[in-house]
Structure 1
Amino acid sequence: MNTIKIVAIVLMASGILGLVFGSFNYTKESEEVKLGPVELTIKEKKTVNIPVWAGVGAIVAGGVLLAYGSRKS
């Protein structure tokens, strides 16, 4: 399996996952305050939405690369 086919499969898989889940969450730690023995850390939960066009675009780009990789072999 050559590199182009692997990249195509990864693009298609990520596009499908983007369409299925639509968003993902992560936690961001910010500003740590130390006042003697007291420490304060703020954890913020962030959500990143994945646009539908990005998922579809990744699937289409992966399909094009897969077709192109198959022709070159």
Structure 2
Amino acid sequence: MSVIKIMAILLIIGGLLGLVYGQFSYTRETQEAKLGPLELSVKDTKTVNVPVWAGVMSIVAGGGLLLFASKKG
């Protein structure tokens, strides 16, 4: 399987996941202060919304790459 086909499949899967879930969250831990042996840190949770157009464009781009790879090979 060529690299182009793998990238196309990953784009399609990513686009489908973006359409199904619509958002994802991640947690980032930051170091606020360090006073001797005492460390203060903050866990910050961010939520990223995936636009519908981005999911659709990812699926279209992946499909286009699959067509291109199948016609070329």
TM-score (norm 2): 0.90
Distance (Å, rounded) in 2 between the aligned partners of 1:7 and 1:36:
49
Residues 38-58 of structure 1, C-alpha deviations (whole Å, 9 max, x = no match): 321011111111111110000
Residues 3-54 of structure 1, C-alpha deviations (whole Å, 9 max, x = no match): 1111111100000011111111111112331223432101111111111111
Paired AA for residue 46 in structure 1? K
Distance (Å, rounded) in 1 between the aligned partners of 2:41 and 2:49:
26
Query: Following superposition, which runs of at least 4 residues in structure 1 exceed 4 angstroms of deviation?
Result: none
Segments of structure 2 that go 5 or more residues without pairing to the other structure are none
TM-score (norm 1): 0.90
Give the match for residue 40 of structure 1. 40
Aligned length: 73
